[in-house]
Amino acid sequence: MNGRSIVALRQVTKTYHMGESELHALRDIDLEINEGEYVAIMGPSGCGKSTLLNVLGCLDRPTRGAYLLGGRDVSTLSDDDLSDIRGSQLGFIFQSYNLIQQLNVLENIQVPLYYQGRGTAESRSVAHALAERVGLGQRIHHKPMELSGGQQQRVGIARALVNDPLLLLADEPTGNLDSASGVEILGLFDELRANGKTIIMVTHDPDIGHRADRIVRLRDGHIEEDVRNGRA
């Protein structure tokens, strides 16, 4: 499992200024993630998991340090360029699904392609295939409100895959789900991993963590532990 480097963080620091005091959400993080890896980021609340994920997701820029995504330094890119990278190379899966309420399933899945300026016909067929793949082929015209939590998260996963991203980023994707739906969603992640997708998932559930290839444990903004699971 030694593919090419997808993520390389070098001495990444993120500092928030709260009036007089400074808060170091991330301190000198060095992290290397290769193609096809399934990484779980764990740690207590407030340790910097979401901050790290936001930096990895190009939603936020590190205060210091370099971030190479797929070999390209993205820590100094402009806002527009970061938007392009998010739209073309990253897939986000959120805890609260974050679907757009006024759009139906098919349209929600297409949103990233829309901002890439991809044609309607092409993006429709891609989105349709993905809806089938996550088991929602019969629900493509439903609005998010008409779906269960598990179904909404499937739409979220389909949407994250629609641009065939370099990296999938998930922040507690099962946090809002009952255990049965959670297991189904985790099953989907296993499938994606088996297909060679690179996945980074924030979770604080140890059971979920053990499904991943590797667990990165954070504490107070630095990496406390980085272990590989011996998978059965």
Partner 1 sequence: MAGPRLQKLKSLFTLGKTRRAVALGFKTLWLHRMRSFLTMLGIVFGVCSVVAMLAVGEGAGFEAQEQIRRLGSQNIILRSIKPTDTERISTEQSRISEYGLRYDDVKRIQDTIPSVKVLAPGRIIRNHVWNATRRVDAEIIGVVPWYPEVRKLRVTEGRFFTPVEYEGYVNLCVIGMTVADHLFPFSSPLGRNVRIGTDYYKVVGVVEPEASSGGTNGSSGEGQAAGNSMANDYAPRVYIPLTAARNRFGETLIRQRQGSFEAERVELHEAIVQVDRLEDVEETALVIDSILSSQRRSKDYEMVVPLELLRQAERTKQIFNTVLGAIAAISLLVGGIGIMNIMLASVTERTREIGIRRALGAKKRDIIVQFLIETVILSGTGGLIGVIIGVVIPIAISHFAEMKTIVTPWAPMLAFSISGFVGIVFGIYPALRAANMDPVEALRHE
Ligand X SMILES: Nc1ncnc2c1ncn2[C@@H]1O[C@H](COP(=O)(O)OP(=O)(O)O)[C@@H](O)[C@H]1O
Footprint of partner 1 (CB under 8 A): 54, 57, 59-60, 79-80, 83-84, 86-88, 92, 94, 98-103, 111-112, 114-117, 119-120, 159, 163
List the one residue out of 84, 87, 40, 4 whose CA is nearest residue 210: 40
Q: CA 6 to CA 72: how far, in whole Å?
A: 9
The three-class DSSP label of residue 156 is helix
Name the percent of the chain in helix, strand, coil, to the closest 5: 35, 30, 35
CB 13 within 8 A of CB 29: yes
Q: Pick out residues in 51-90 that bind ligand X (CB under 6 A).
A: 51
Minimum Å distance from CB 124 to Mg ion? 34
| Rounded least distance, CB 212 to partner 1, Å | 22
Quickly tell me which residue has 């808060």 as its tokens: 23
Question: Could you say whether residue 48 binds ligand X (CB under 6 A)?
Answer: yes
The whole-angstrom separation of Cα 51 and Cα 46 is 9
Q: Using the rule CB under 6 A, which residue among 1, 3, 23, 206 binds ligand X?
A: 23
Q: How far is the CB of 111 from partner 1 (least distance, A)?
A: 5
Interaction pattern, residues 27-56, with Mg ion; x per rule: CB under 5 A: -----------------------x------
Residues that bind ligand X (CB under 6 A): 16, 18, 23, 25, 45-51
